[in-house]
Structure 1
Amino acid sequence: MRAIAINVAANTNLPGFRGPIYPDGSFEYVPIPEREPTGEQVPTYADLDLRLPIPDDVADTPVHLDPEFAGYADCDRYTYGDEHGVKAGPLSDLDAGDYLFFYATLSTHDWPDGAESTDDTGPADDRLDWIAPDWGAYLIGHFRVRRAITGEQYHDLPAGEQSVFASNAHVRRADFDAKVLVEGDDGSRLYDCAVPLSSPDAGATANRLVTDLSNDSGKGPWWRRRFWYDGEATREILDLSDSGAENRT
Protein backbone atom coordinates (compact mmCIF):
# COMPACT_ATOMS: atom_id res chain seq x y z
CA MET A 1 0.00 0.00 0.00
CA ARG A 2 1.20 3.51 -0.84
CA ALA A 3 -0.30 6.96 -1.24
CA ILE A 4 0.04 10.25 -3.05
CA ALA A 5 -1.28 13.56 -1.66
CA ILE A 6 -2.19 16.37 -4.07
CA ASN A 7 -3.43 19.94 -3.67
CA VAL A 8 -7.00 20.69 -4.72
CA ALA A 9 -9.81 23.19 -4.09
CA ALA A 10 -10.22 26.97 -3.96
CA ASN A 11 -7.23 29.20 -3.35
CA THR A 12 -6.26 32.84 -3.46
CA ASN A 13 -5.73 32.67 -7.23
CA LEU A 14 -8.84 30.65 -8.19
CA PRO A 15 -11.43 31.94 -7.38
CA GLY A 16 -9.62 34.47 -5.16
CA PHE A 17 -10.44 33.05 -1.73
CA ARG A 18 -9.83 29.86 0.23
CA GLY A 19 -12.38 27.63 1.85
CA PRO A 20 -12.75 28.12 5.61
CA ILE A 21 -11.71 25.93 8.51
CA TYR A 22 -13.82 26.44 11.63
CA PRO A 23 -12.85 26.33 15.34
CA ASP A 24 -13.67 22.62 15.74
CA GLY A 25 -11.68 21.55 12.66
CA SER A 26 -14.66 21.20 10.33
CA PHE A 27 -14.31 22.96 6.99
CA GLU A 28 -15.89 23.72 3.64
CA TYR A 29 -14.72 21.97 0.49
CA VAL A 30 -14.88 24.76 -2.11
CA PRO A 31 -13.92 23.73 -5.67
CA ILE A 32 -12.08 25.96 -8.12
CA PRO A 33 -14.07 27.60 -10.94
CA GLU A 34 -14.52 25.78 -14.22
CA ARG A 35 -12.26 27.45 -16.77
CA GLU A 36 -13.25 25.48 -19.89
CA PRO A 37 -16.51 25.14 -21.84
CA THR A 38 -18.66 22.23 -20.69
CA GLY A 39 -20.83 19.92 -22.73
CA GLU A 40 -23.59 20.03 -20.12
CA GLN A 41 -24.71 22.24 -17.27
CA VAL A 42 -22.54 21.98 -14.15
CA PRO A 43 -23.14 23.35 -10.63
CA THR A 44 -22.33 26.93 -9.71
CA TYR A 45 -20.98 28.21 -6.41
CA ALA A 46 -24.54 29.20 -5.47
CA ASP A 47 -25.64 25.57 -5.98
CA LEU A 48 -23.18 24.18 -3.40
CA ASP A 49 -25.13 25.35 -0.32
CA LEU A 50 -21.97 26.46 1.46
CA ARG A 51 -22.00 27.96 4.95
CA LEU A 52 -19.74 30.85 3.95
CA PRO A 53 -20.86 33.93 2.02
CA ILE A 54 -19.95 33.66 -1.66
CA PRO A 55 -18.97 36.94 -3.37
CA ASP A 56 -21.71 38.11 -5.73
CA ASP A 57 -19.31 38.21 -8.67
CA VAL A 58 -18.66 34.46 -8.50
CA ALA A 59 -21.97 33.10 -7.16
CA ASP A 60 -23.19 32.12 -10.63
CA THR A 61 -19.80 30.87 -11.82
CA PRO A 62 -19.74 27.16 -12.77
CA VAL A 63 -17.41 25.08 -10.61
CA HIS A 64 -14.80 22.48 -11.56
CA LEU A 65 -16.04 19.89 -9.08
CA ASP A 66 -12.97 17.67 -9.00
CA PRO A 67 -12.44 15.58 -6.97
CA GLU A 68 -16.04 14.56 -6.55
CA PHE A 69 -17.10 12.88 -3.32
CA ALA A 70 -20.30 10.85 -3.04
CA GLY A 71 -22.79 12.81 -0.95
CA TYR A 72 -21.36 16.21 -1.84
CA ALA A 73 -23.44 18.52 -4.03
CA ASP A 74 -24.32 16.89 -7.37
CA CYS A 75 -22.00 13.93 -6.67
CA ASP A 76 -22.79 10.24 -6.26
CA ARG A 77 -19.36 8.75 -6.96
CA TYR A 78 -15.71 9.17 -6.07
CA THR A 79 -13.73 10.27 -9.13
CA TYR A 80 -10.80 12.53 -9.88
CA GLY A 81 -9.31 13.61 -13.19
CA ASP A 82 -6.30 15.67 -14.20
CA GLU A 83 -5.13 17.13 -17.50
CA HIS A 84 -1.55 17.78 -16.42
CA GLY A 85 1.03 15.21 -17.43
CA VAL A 86 3.23 15.89 -14.41
CA LYS A 87 0.45 14.57 -12.15
CA ALA A 88 -1.02 12.04 -14.55
CA GLY A 89 2.05 9.80 -14.65
CA PRO A 90 2.29 9.10 -10.89
CA LEU A 91 -1.48 8.93 -10.45
CA SER A 92 -1.98 6.47 -13.29
CA ASP A 93 0.53 4.16 -11.56
CA LEU A 94 -1.68 3.82 -8.46
CA ASP A 95 -3.02 0.31 -7.92
CA ALA A 96 -6.25 -0.90 -6.37
CA GLY A 97 -5.96 -0.51 -2.61
CA ASP A 98 -3.54 2.42 -2.80
CA TYR A 99 -4.66 5.81 -1.49
CA LEU A 100 -5.02 9.24 -3.03
CA PHE A 101 -5.10 11.98 -0.39
CA PHE A 102 -6.48 15.42 -1.16
CA TYR A 103 -5.34 18.51 0.68
CA ALA A 104 -6.37 22.16 0.46
CA THR A 105 -5.24 25.49 1.83
CA LEU A 106 -7.95 26.78 4.17
CA SER A 107 -8.42 30.14 5.90
CA THR A 108 -9.03 30.16 9.64
CA HIS A 109 -12.57 31.39 10.37
CA ASP A 110 -14.86 31.97 13.29
CA TRP A 111 -18.29 30.41 12.99
CA PRO A 112 -20.54 31.95 10.34
CA ASP A 113 -23.68 33.68 11.59
CA GLY A 114 -26.20 31.16 12.89
CA ALA A 115 -23.79 28.21 12.71
CA GLU A 116 -22.89 26.03 15.65
CA SER A 117 -19.99 23.75 16.41
CA THR A 118 -20.37 20.16 15.27
CA ASP A 119 -18.08 18.96 18.02
CA ASP A 120 -19.01 20.92 21.17
CA THR A 121 -15.59 22.54 21.30
CA GLY A 122 -16.84 25.79 22.77
CA PRO A 123 -16.89 29.39 21.53
CA ALA A 124 -15.20 30.63 18.39
CA ASP A 125 -12.17 31.92 20.29
CA ASP A 126 -11.59 28.43 21.73
CA ARG A 127 -10.07 27.11 18.53
CA LEU A 128 -8.43 23.69 18.45
CA ASP A 129 -4.74 24.15 19.09
CA TRP A 130 -3.58 22.49 15.86
CA ILE A 131 -5.33 25.02 13.61
CA ALA A 132 -2.95 27.59 12.10
CA PRO A 133 -3.65 31.23 12.99
CA ASP A 134 -4.44 32.66 9.53
CA TRP A 135 -4.37 29.88 6.96
CA GLY A 136 -2.91 26.42 6.63
CA ALA A 137 -2.76 23.29 4.50
CA TYR A 138 -5.02 20.43 5.57
CA LEU A 139 -5.97 16.99 4.33
CA ILE A 140 -9.68 17.11 3.51
CA GLY A 141 -10.39 13.61 2.20
CA HIS A 142 -9.08 10.53 0.45
CA PHE A 143 -9.86 7.90 -2.13
CA ARG A 144 -9.09 4.27 -1.59
CA VAL A 145 -8.27 3.53 -5.20
CA ARG A 146 -10.44 1.13 -7.14
CA ARG A 147 -8.64 1.88 -10.39
CA ALA A 148 -6.54 4.54 -12.07
CA ILE A 149 -6.49 4.79 -15.86
CA THR A 150 -5.01 7.05 -18.49
CA GLY A 151 -7.12 9.14 -20.83
CA GLU A 152 -6.31 6.73 -23.64
CA GLN A 153 -7.46 3.77 -21.56
CA TYR A 154 -10.72 5.60 -20.79
CA HIS A 155 -11.52 5.86 -24.50
CA ASP A 156 -11.00 2.09 -24.84
CA LEU A 157 -13.48 1.25 -22.05
CA PRO A 158 -16.90 -0.17 -22.94
CA ALA A 159 -19.65 2.44 -22.66
CA GLY A 160 -20.95 0.88 -19.45
CA GLU A 161 -17.59 1.28 -17.76
CA GLN A 162 -17.09 4.80 -19.11
CA SER A 163 -20.33 5.78 -17.38
CA VAL A 164 -18.60 5.39 -14.00
CA PHE A 165 -16.76 8.63 -14.82
CA ALA A 166 -19.72 10.41 -16.46
CA SER A 167 -20.02 13.05 -13.73
CA ASN A 168 -16.30 13.80 -13.52
CA ALA A 169 -15.50 17.42 -14.36
CA HIS A 170 -13.08 16.50 -17.17
CA VAL A 171 -15.61 14.20 -18.80
CA ARG A 172 -18.22 16.97 -18.55
CA ARG A 173 -16.00 19.38 -20.46
CA ALA A 174 -16.92 19.98 -24.08
CA ASP A 175 -13.51 18.62 -25.03
CA PHE A 176 -12.42 15.67 -22.88
CA ASP A 177 -8.90 16.46 -21.65
CA ALA A 178 -8.12 14.08 -18.77
CA LYS A 179 -4.72 12.44 -18.95
CA VAL A 180 -5.65 10.36 -15.90
CA LEU A 181 -8.88 9.34 -14.18
CA VAL A 182 -9.03 7.81 -10.71
CA GLU A 183 -12.03 6.00 -9.24
CA GLY A 184 -12.32 5.58 -5.50
CA ASP A 185 -14.11 2.65 -3.85
CA ASP A 186 -16.39 2.66 -0.81
CA GLY A 187 -13.39 3.19 1.48
CA SER A 188 -13.22 6.76 0.14
CA ARG A 189 -14.57 9.82 1.92
CA LEU A 190 -14.62 13.56 2.37
CA TYR A 191 -13.56 14.19 5.97
CA ASP A 192 -15.80 15.83 8.55
CA CYS A 193 -12.70 17.21 10.27
CA ALA A 194 -9.48 18.28 8.56
CA VAL A 195 -6.07 16.76 9.24
CA PRO A 196 -3.34 19.44 9.50
CA LEU A 197 -0.26 19.47 7.32
CA SER A 198 0.77 22.92 8.61
CA SER A 199 2.30 23.78 11.95
CA PRO A 200 -0.07 25.42 14.46
CA ASP A 201 2.34 28.38 14.47
CA ALA A 202 2.19 29.28 10.78
CA GLY A 203 0.48 27.93 7.69
CA ALA A 204 3.67 28.12 5.64
CA THR A 205 5.51 25.85 8.10
CA ALA A 206 5.08 22.14 7.38
CA ASN A 207 4.42 19.71 10.23
CA ARG A 208 5.76 16.19 10.63
CA LEU A 209 3.18 14.65 8.25
CA VAL A 210 5.12 16.41 5.52
CA THR A 211 8.68 16.57 6.85
CA ASP A 212 8.87 13.16 8.57
CA LEU A 213 6.32 10.94 6.84
CA SER A 214 6.43 12.05 3.20
CA ASN A 215 9.21 12.39 0.64
CA ASP A 216 9.05 16.20 0.85
CA SER A 217 11.49 18.46 2.70
CA GLY A 218 8.84 20.96 3.74
CA LYS A 219 10.99 23.77 2.38
CA GLY A 220 9.71 26.46 0.03
CA PRO A 221 6.08 26.40 -1.17
CA TRP A 222 5.57 22.79 -0.14
CA TRP A 223 1.76 23.28 -0.01
CA ARG A 224 1.68 23.34 -3.82
CA ARG A 225 3.54 20.06 -4.32
CA ARG A 226 2.72 16.34 -4.43
CA PHE A 227 3.73 14.11 -1.52
CA TRP A 228 4.45 10.38 -1.59
CA TYR A 229 3.80 8.15 1.42
CA ASP A 230 4.83 4.57 2.03
CA GLY A 231 2.52 1.98 3.60
CA GLU A 232 3.42 2.70 7.21
CA ALA A 233 2.98 6.46 6.78
CA THR A 234 -0.31 5.92 4.94
CA ARG A 235 -1.67 3.85 7.81
CA GLU A 236 -0.64 6.53 10.31
CA ILE A 237 -2.47 9.23 8.35
CA LEU A 238 -5.56 7.05 8.03
CA ASP A 239 -5.51 6.54 11.80
CA LEU A 240 -5.31 10.31 12.31
CA SER A 241 -8.26 10.86 9.98
CA ASP A 242 -10.30 8.47 12.14
CA SER A 243 -9.20 10.00 15.47
CA GLY A 244 -10.98 12.62 17.53
CA ALA A 245 -10.66 16.25 16.52
CA GLU A 246 -8.33 17.01 19.42
CA ASN A 247 -5.83 14.30 18.40
CA ARG A 248 -5.01 15.13 14.80
CA THR A 249 -1.28 15.82 15.01
Structure 2
Amino acid sequence: MARALAINVAANTNLPGVRGPIYPDGSVVYLPIPEREPIDSAAEVPTYDDLLAELAPLPFELPGESRDTPVHLDPEFAGYPGCDSYTYGDEHGVKAGPISGLEPGDSLLFYATLTRHEPPAEVDTEPAVEWVAPGWGAYLIGEFRIDRVLDSDACRSLSAAEKAAFASNAHRKRAEFDAKVLVRGGKDSQLFGRGVPLSAPESGSTANRIVTELSNDSGNGPWWRRRLWFDTEATATLRSVTESVDSHPQRLTEWLS
Protein backbone atom coordinates (compact mmCIF):
# COMPACT_ATOMS: atom_id res chain seq x y z
CA MET A 1 0.00 0.00 0.00
CA ALA A 2 1.29 3.45 -0.94
CA ARG A 3 2.55 6.02 1.52
CA ALA A 4 3.41 9.69 0.93
CA LEU A 5 6.00 12.19 2.11
CA ALA A 6 5.69 15.95 1.56
CA ILE A 7 8.71 18.26 1.60
CA ASN A 8 9.20 22.01 1.24
CA VAL A 9 10.74 23.27 -2.02
CA ALA A 10 10.79 26.29 -4.33
CA ALA A 11 11.41 30.04 -4.09
CA ASN A 12 11.03 31.74 -0.73
CA THR A 13 11.73 35.03 1.00
CA ASN A 14 15.37 34.05 1.53
CA LEU A 15 16.11 32.57 -1.90
CA PRO A 16 15.68 34.54 -4.16
CA GLY A 17 13.79 36.98 -1.89
CA VAL A 18 10.21 36.39 -3.07
CA ARG A 19 7.73 33.55 -2.92
CA GLY A 20 5.99 32.23 -6.00
CA PRO A 21 2.45 33.49 -6.62
CA ILE A 22 -0.91 31.89 -6.01
CA TYR A 23 -3.97 33.55 -7.53
CA PRO A 24 -7.49 33.78 -6.05
CA ASP A 25 -8.64 30.82 -8.17
CA GLY A 26 -5.90 28.67 -6.62
CA SER A 27 -3.66 28.55 -9.69
CA VAL A 28 0.05 28.67 -8.94
CA VAL A 29 3.40 29.35 -10.58
CA TYR A 30 6.37 27.17 -9.64
CA LEU A 31 9.55 29.20 -9.17
CA PRO A 32 12.71 27.30 -8.21
CA ILE A 33 15.41 28.60 -5.89
CA PRO A 34 18.67 30.00 -7.28
CA GLU A 35 21.63 27.70 -7.79
CA ARG A 36 24.15 28.25 -4.99
CA GLU A 37 26.92 25.89 -6.09
CA PRO A 38 29.37 25.98 -9.02
CA ILE A 39 27.95 24.46 -12.20
CA ASP A 40 29.72 21.98 -14.45
CA SER A 41 31.17 23.89 -17.41
CA ALA A 42 29.44 21.54 -19.87
CA ALA A 43 26.00 21.79 -18.25
CA GLU A 44 23.13 23.88 -19.56
CA VAL A 45 21.30 25.55 -16.68
CA PRO A 46 18.55 28.15 -17.23
CA THR A 47 18.53 31.52 -15.53
CA TYR A 48 15.47 33.23 -14.08
CA ASP A 49 15.31 35.34 -17.23
CA ASP A 50 15.23 32.14 -19.31
CA LEU A 51 12.29 30.84 -17.28
CA LEU A 52 10.44 34.16 -17.37
CA ALA A 53 10.66 34.16 -21.15
CA GLU A 54 8.58 30.95 -21.22
CA LEU A 55 6.33 31.27 -18.16
CA ALA A 56 3.20 33.39 -18.09
CA PRO A 57 3.85 36.94 -16.80
CA LEU A 58 4.38 37.20 -13.05
CA PRO A 59 2.47 39.71 -10.86
CA PHE A 60 5.73 41.11 -9.48
CA GLU A 61 9.32 41.79 -10.47
CA LEU A 62 12.06 39.45 -9.35
CA PRO A 63 14.94 41.12 -7.50
CA GLY A 64 17.04 42.68 -10.24
CA GLU A 65 20.27 40.95 -9.23
CA SER A 66 18.64 37.53 -9.51
CA ARG A 67 17.35 37.70 -13.06
CA ASP A 68 20.56 36.45 -14.68
CA THR A 69 21.21 33.94 -11.89
CA PRO A 70 21.10 30.24 -12.82
CA VAL A 71 18.28 28.38 -11.11
CA HIS A 72 18.43 25.16 -9.10
CA LEU A 73 15.62 23.52 -11.06
CA ASP A 74 14.89 20.78 -8.55
CA PRO A 75 12.41 19.17 -8.56
CA GLU A 76 12.04 19.14 -12.31
CA PHE A 77 8.68 18.38 -13.88
CA ALA A 78 8.23 17.20 -17.45
CA GLY A 79 6.57 19.98 -19.44
CA TYR A 80 7.99 22.79 -17.30
CA PRO A 81 10.39 25.05 -19.22
CA GLY A 82 13.64 23.20 -19.84
CA CYS A 83 12.39 19.90 -18.36
CA ASP A 84 11.45 16.58 -19.93
CA SER A 85 11.76 14.33 -16.87
CA TYR A 86 10.56 14.04 -13.28
CA THR A 87 13.62 13.99 -11.03
CA TYR A 88 14.59 15.27 -7.61
CA GLY A 89 17.83 15.20 -5.66
CA ASP A 90 18.83 16.35 -2.19
CA GLU A 91 22.18 16.74 -0.46
CA HIS A 92 20.80 17.21 3.06
CA GLY A 93 20.56 14.11 5.20
CA VAL A 94 17.53 15.41 7.10
CA LYS A 95 15.48 15.04 3.91
CA ALA A 96 17.55 12.46 2.02
CA GLY A 97 17.14 9.84 4.74
CA PRO A 98 13.33 9.81 4.82
CA ILE A 99 13.09 10.09 1.03
CA SER A 100 15.37 7.05 0.68
CA GLY A 101 12.71 5.03 2.50
CA LEU A 102 10.13 5.59 -0.25
CA GLU A 103 9.37 2.73 -2.62
CA PRO A 104 7.96 2.47 -6.16
CA GLY A 105 4.30 3.46 -6.09
CA ASP A 106 4.70 5.76 -3.07
CA SER A 107 4.26 9.52 -3.45
CA LEU A 108 6.83 12.24 -2.96
CA LEU A 109 4.85 15.45 -2.65
CA PHE A 110 6.29 18.93 -2.97
CA TYR A 111 4.89 21.95 -1.19
CA ALA A 112 5.87 25.61 -1.34
CA THR A 113 5.06 28.76 0.57
CA LEU A 114 3.29 31.07 -1.87
CA THR A 115 1.98 34.63 -1.70
CA ARG A 116 -1.53 35.54 -2.83
CA HIS A 117 -1.60 38.01 -5.73
CA GLU A 118 -4.12 39.30 -8.17
CA PRO A 119 -3.17 37.92 -11.61
CA PRO A 120 -1.61 40.12 -14.29
CA ALA A 121 -4.02 41.33 -16.93
CA GLU A 122 -2.50 38.91 -19.48
CA VAL A 123 -3.25 35.85 -17.32
CA ASP A 124 -6.67 34.24 -17.56
CA THR A 125 -8.01 32.82 -14.32
CA GLU A 126 -11.26 31.27 -13.12
CA PRO A 127 -13.61 32.28 -10.29
CA ALA A 128 -12.03 32.65 -6.88
CA VAL A 129 -12.03 29.75 -4.44
CA GLU A 130 -12.47 29.99 -0.69
CA TRP A 131 -9.30 28.22 0.42
CA VAL A 132 -6.56 30.63 -0.71
CA ALA A 133 -5.14 32.26 2.40
CA PRO A 134 -4.63 36.03 2.59
CA GLY A 135 -1.00 36.98 2.38
CA TRP A 136 1.11 33.82 2.27
CA GLY A 137 0.28 30.15 2.74
CA ALA A 138 1.70 26.67 2.17
CA TYR A 139 0.41 24.62 -0.78
CA LEU A 140 1.18 21.31 -2.42
CA ILE A 141 2.34 22.11 -5.94
CA GLY A 142 3.28 18.73 -7.38
CA GLU A 143 3.68 15.02 -6.89
CA PHE A 144 6.01 12.26 -8.01
CA ARG A 145 4.61 8.75 -8.12
CA ILE A 146 7.86 7.01 -7.30
CA ASP A 147 9.49 5.03 -10.08
CA ARG A 148 12.98 4.76 -8.59
CA VAL A 149 14.96 5.96 -5.58
CA LEU A 150 18.74 5.91 -5.29
CA ASP A 151 19.95 6.12 -1.69
CA SER A 152 23.24 7.58 -0.46
CA ASP A 153 25.21 4.41 -1.21
CA ALA A 154 23.90 4.28 -4.77
CA CYS A 155 24.57 7.99 -5.23
CA ARG A 156 28.22 7.52 -4.25
CA SER A 157 28.79 5.13 -7.14
CA LEU A 158 26.40 5.92 -9.97
CA SER A 159 26.49 3.46 -12.85
CA ALA A 160 26.59 4.68 -16.43
CA ALA A 161 22.89 3.87 -16.79
CA GLU A 162 22.04 5.79 -13.61
CA LYS A 163 24.08 8.78 -14.75
CA ALA A 164 22.11 8.80 -17.98
CA ALA A 165 18.75 8.40 -16.22
CA PHE A 166 19.41 11.38 -13.96
CA ALA A 167 21.48 13.49 -16.36
CA SER A 168 18.96 16.35 -16.30
CA ASN A 169 18.80 16.63 -12.50
CA ALA A 170 20.20 19.85 -11.02
CA HIS A 171 22.64 18.00 -8.74
CA ARG A 172 24.12 16.15 -11.71
CA LYS A 173 24.76 19.56 -13.31
CA ARG A 174 26.83 20.82 -10.39
CA ALA A 175 30.61 20.83 -10.72
CA GLU A 176 30.66 18.37 -7.82
CA PHE A 177 27.80 15.90 -7.62
CA ASP A 178 26.56 16.08 -4.03
CA ALA A 179 23.15 14.40 -3.85
CA LYS A 180 22.54 11.88 -1.06
CA VAL A 181 19.33 10.75 -2.69
CA LEU A 182 17.96 10.82 -6.23
CA VAL A 183 14.33 10.22 -7.14
CA ARG A 184 12.72 9.56 -10.47
CA GLY A 185 8.98 10.04 -10.86
CA GLY A 186 6.84 7.80 -13.02
CA LYS A 187 4.30 8.62 -15.69
CA ASP A 188 1.60 9.57 -13.17
CA SER A 189 3.74 12.36 -11.72
CA GLN A 190 2.59 15.93 -12.23
CA LEU A 191 3.03 19.61 -11.50
CA PHE A 192 -0.35 20.80 -10.28
CA GLY A 193 -2.13 23.66 -12.02
CA ARG A 194 -3.76 24.63 -8.74
CA GLY A 195 -2.14 24.42 -5.35
CA VAL A 196 -3.59 22.12 -2.72
CA PRO A 197 -3.70 24.14 0.50
CA LEU A 198 -2.00 23.00 3.67
CA SER A 199 -2.78 26.35 5.31
CA ALA A 200 -6.17 27.33 6.65
CA PRO A 201 -8.03 29.99 4.60
CA GLU A 202 -7.79 32.55 7.39
CA SER A 203 -4.03 32.40 7.96
CA GLY A 204 -0.97 30.94 6.27
CA SER A 205 0.59 29.90 9.57
CA THR A 206 -2.49 27.90 10.64
CA ALA A 207 -2.47 24.31 9.41
CA ASN A 208 -5.62 22.86 7.87
CA ARG A 209 -6.95 19.33 8.26
CA ILE A 210 -4.66 17.88 5.59
CA VAL A 211 -1.83 18.55 8.05
CA THR A 212 -3.59 18.01 11.36
CA GLU A 213 -5.81 15.03 10.44
CA LEU A 214 -4.02 13.25 7.61
CA SER A 215 -0.30 13.78 8.27
CA ASN A 216 1.86 12.84 11.25
CA ASP A 217 2.32 16.53 12.14
CA SER A 218 0.49 18.33 14.95
CA GLY A 219 0.33 21.61 13.04
CA ASN A 220 1.97 23.41 15.97
CA GLY A 221 4.91 25.75 15.48
CA PRO A 222 6.49 26.24 12.03
CA TRP A 223 4.95 23.11 10.53
CA TRP A 224 5.41 24.56 7.00
CA ARG A 225 9.16 23.93 7.27
CA ARG A 226 8.83 20.28 8.27
CA ARG A 227 8.48 16.95 6.48
CA LEU A 228 4.94 15.61 6.49
CA TRP A 229 4.32 11.85 6.45
CA PHE A 230 1.03 10.27 5.33
CA ASP A 231 0.19 6.64 6.05
CA THR A 232 -1.53 4.40 3.52
CA GLU A 233 -5.08 5.41 4.43
CA ALA A 234 -4.21 9.11 4.51
CA THR A 235 -2.37 8.80 1.20
CA ALA A 236 -5.45 7.36 -0.48
CA THR A 237 -7.53 10.26 0.82
CA LEU A 238 -4.92 12.83 -0.16
CA ARG A 239 -4.64 11.42 -3.67
CA SER A 240 -8.39 11.75 -4.14
CA VAL A 241 -8.05 15.41 -3.15
CA THR A 242 -5.08 16.21 -5.38
CA GLU A 243 -6.45 14.34 -8.39
CA SER A 244 -9.56 16.51 -8.51
CA VAL A 245 -8.21 19.94 -7.54
CA ASP A 246 -7.52 21.12 -11.09
CA SER A 247 -10.82 20.00 -12.62
CA HIS A 248 -13.16 20.27 -9.61
CA PRO A 249 -11.79 22.82 -7.13
CA GLN A 250 -15.19 23.07 -5.42
CA ARG A 251 -14.75 19.50 -4.14
CA LEU A 252 -11.72 20.66 -2.22
CA THR A 253 -13.75 23.52 -0.73
CA GLU A 254 -16.35 21.01 0.44
CA TRP A 255 -13.76 18.58 1.82
CA LEU A 256 -11.94 21.28 3.80
CA SER A 257 -15.12 22.74 5.32
TM-score by length of 1: 0.94
Partner of 2:36: 35
- Work out whether 1:54 is the aligned partner of 2:62: yes
Task: Give the 5 Å matches for 1:58-207.
Answer: 58-117=66-125, 120-121=126-127, 127-207=128-208
| Alpha-carbon distance between aligned partners in 2 of 1:177 and 1:154, rounded to the nearest angstrom | 8
Per-residue deviation, residues 3-48 of structure 1 (Å, max 9, x unmatched) = 1000000001111100000121111000000000010231111111
- Work out whether 1:234 is the aligned partner of 2:231: no
- Work out whether 1:245 is the aligned partner of 2:249: yes
How far has the Cα of 1:57 moved from its partner? 1.9
| Alpha-carbon distance between aligned partners in 2 of 1:162 and 1:71, rounded to the nearest angstrom | 21
Partner of 2:21: 20
| Alpha-carbon distance between aligned partners in 1 of 2:6 and 2:14, rounded to the nearest angstrom | 20
Count matched residues.
242
| Alpha-carbon distance between aligned partners in 1 of 2:150 and 2:63, rounded to the nearest angstrom | 37
Which moved further from structure 2: 48-57 or 135-144? 48-57
Asked if the contact 1:151–1:177 (Cα under 8 Å) also holds between the matched residues in 2, the reply is no
Q: Give the secondary structure class of the aligned counterpart of 1:11.
A: coil
How far has the Cα of 1:157 moved from its partner? 4.1
How far has the Cα of 1:237 moved from its partner? 1.3
Partner of 1:124: none
Which moved further from structure 2: 239-248 or 48-57? 48-57
| Alpha-carbon distance between aligned partners in 1 of 2:215 and 2:21, rounded to the nearest angstrom | 25
| Alpha-carbon distance between aligned partners in 1 of 2:18 and 2:62, rounded to the nearest angstrom | 10
How far has the Cα of 1:155 moved from its partner? 4.5
User: Of 44, 48, 61, which aligns to 1:45?
Assistant: 48
CA-atom RMSD, angstroms?
1.2
Per-residue deviation, residues 122-148 of structure 1 (Å, max 9, x unmatched) = xxxxx3110001110000000000111
| Alpha-carbon distance between aligned partners in 2 of 1:84 and 1:156, rounded to the nearest angstrom | 18
Per-residue deviation, residues 137-172 of structure 1 (Å, max 9, x unmatched) = 000000000111124313444312321110111111
Per-residue deviation, residues 223-247 of structure 1 (Å, max 9, x unmatched) = 0000000111111111111221222
| Alpha-carbon distance between aligned partners in 2 of 1:74 and 1:163, rounded to the nearest angstrom | 17
Asked if the contact 2:143–2:190 (Cα under 8 Å) also holds between the matched residues in 1, the reply is yes
Which has the larger helix fraction? Answer: 2
Q: Give the secondary structure class of the aligned counterpart of 2:153.
A: helix
